[in-house]
Amino acid sequence: MSVLKLAKLNFSNRCYIFGSCSGLLLIYIGGLFVANPFTNTFRLLDHSSSSLLPWIVGGDGRYYFPNEHEYPQGNNARTERAMCVGFAVNRTTKSFKIVCILEMETGYGFEINDGYCWRLSETTINASSKSDLTTRMKPVYLDGTLHWLRNDGSIIAFNPETEQARMIPSIFHRESDMKLLFAADDNINRLTLILGTKETISVYALRKNSKWILARQIKNVSMEDSILVSWNMVAYDGKHLVVREMKKNTFKGLVHVEGLVHVEGLVHVYDMKANSWRVLGLPWCPSHYDRDFYKFMPSLFPVEEDEQTKVIIASDDQRIRYLTAVMRLTDTTK
């Protein structure tokens, strides 16, 4: 597989993709679903007894969290805390686990769902220094372990199978104008940190000694300052780096609405082997949701449950219409 498959997230109250792993999506559309877009199958999970998810997906203005942060809006909680939800698929057993990282007074705890129930892992981990999880930076699943990045560059690693947690004390220095992407290089099986300025994008790989080593430096894609609204690095797999640029609409003939800037998104892909940029497409995407891109690799992994525990959903359920629409986004034949 040489090309990144992207599933674009259409962010609205009704829809949020939490994760994509081995061809399965963890997605919220009025309910929490695990879906396989390739086989067009899905499964509804009960998230009501999770200590984190109702707070993230709720939208009624009442939010409470163990550390007593209050968010006035559900969408805020969603955009800023959705990265606490990790999604992992075990390719051998073809089973999935959802892991929520819980920030507590002195450290972190983990809540796990294996498709049936939510439970708190006995594992907790204390950090030696205080640093927040990097907002909106999705956890990276590598070597059977979920990794969450903190603002100081250290990483919290949790293995959903063994339920062992550890801190990786890596640090990096980031200038305030630098863009950041936490990812994995699938070729060399290493965690990767990508720091970008408008001129240069630097790719760092994590060594066994917990040091970030500069692996690669590439020139940015040329972006026209006069029409550039924002840009971000949104996906990386070791072969390709995906950059999303938001720029003022330059199409002629569009009715200009006063006070409203027409913004369009442009997706650039850098081929790490060919050392070249190309334009992937010009999808419509809302300007403020930079990170809503997902690597997607079709698989035949099942999501169905056994008949006894199956949650029946009417076929005309509104949520299924949305879910089907989102699953279609990943159709790579179009």
Q: Which residues bind ligand NAG (CB under 6 A)?
A: 90, 92-93, 106-107, 124-126, 144, 161, 198-199, 219-220, 222-223, 225
Cα 131 from Cα 108, distance rounded (Å): 12
C-beta of 142 vs 285, nearer to ligand NAG: 142
C-beta of 74 vs 196, nearer to ligand NAG: 196
**Three-class secondary structure of residue 317 per DSSP:** coil
C-beta of 14 vs 198, nearer to ligand NAG: 198
C-beta of 147 vs 319, nearer to ligand NAG: 147
Closest C-alpha among 69, 67, 81, 73 to residue 135 = 81
Kindly state the tokens that stand for 222. 């040329």
Q: How far is the CB of 147 from ligand NAG (least distance, A)?
A: 14
Which phi-psi region, left, alpha or beta, contains residue 289 (left: φ > 0; alpha: ψ -120 to 50)? beta
Cα 334 from Cα 332, distance rounded (Å): 5
How far out from the chain centre does Cα 328 lie?
Answer: 19
C-beta of 94 vs 136, nearer to ligand NAG: 94
Which phi-psi region, left, alpha or beta, contains residue 61 (left: φ > 0; alpha: ψ -120 to 50)? left
Residue nearest ligand NAG, Cβ-based: 144
Q: How far is the CB of 224 from ligand NAG (least distance, A)?
A: 7
Q: How far is the CB of 129 from ligand NAG (least distance, A)?
A: 13
Residues 6+ away with beta carbon under 8 Å from 22:
89, 91, 297, 299, 301
Closest C-alpha among 40, 55, 24, 2 to residue 294 = 24
C-beta of 59 vs 144, nearer to ligand NAG: 144
Kindly state the tokens that stand for 33. 């679903």
Cα 57 from Cα 78, distance rounded (Å): 6
C-beta of 125 vs 133, nearer to ligand NAG: 125
Cα 213 from Cα 185, distance rounded (Å): 13
Q: How far is the CB of 200 from ligand NAG (least distance, A)?
A: 8
Q: Which residue has the tokens 């026209």?
A: 224
**Dihedral, CA of residue 196, residue 132, residue 56 and residue 77, to nearest 10:** -70
C-beta of 57 vs 181, nearer to ligand NAG: 181
In terms of Cβ atoms closer than 10 Å to its own Cβ (0-12, 13-18, 19+), residue 310 is: exposed
C-beta of 63 vs 231, nearer to ligand NAG: 231
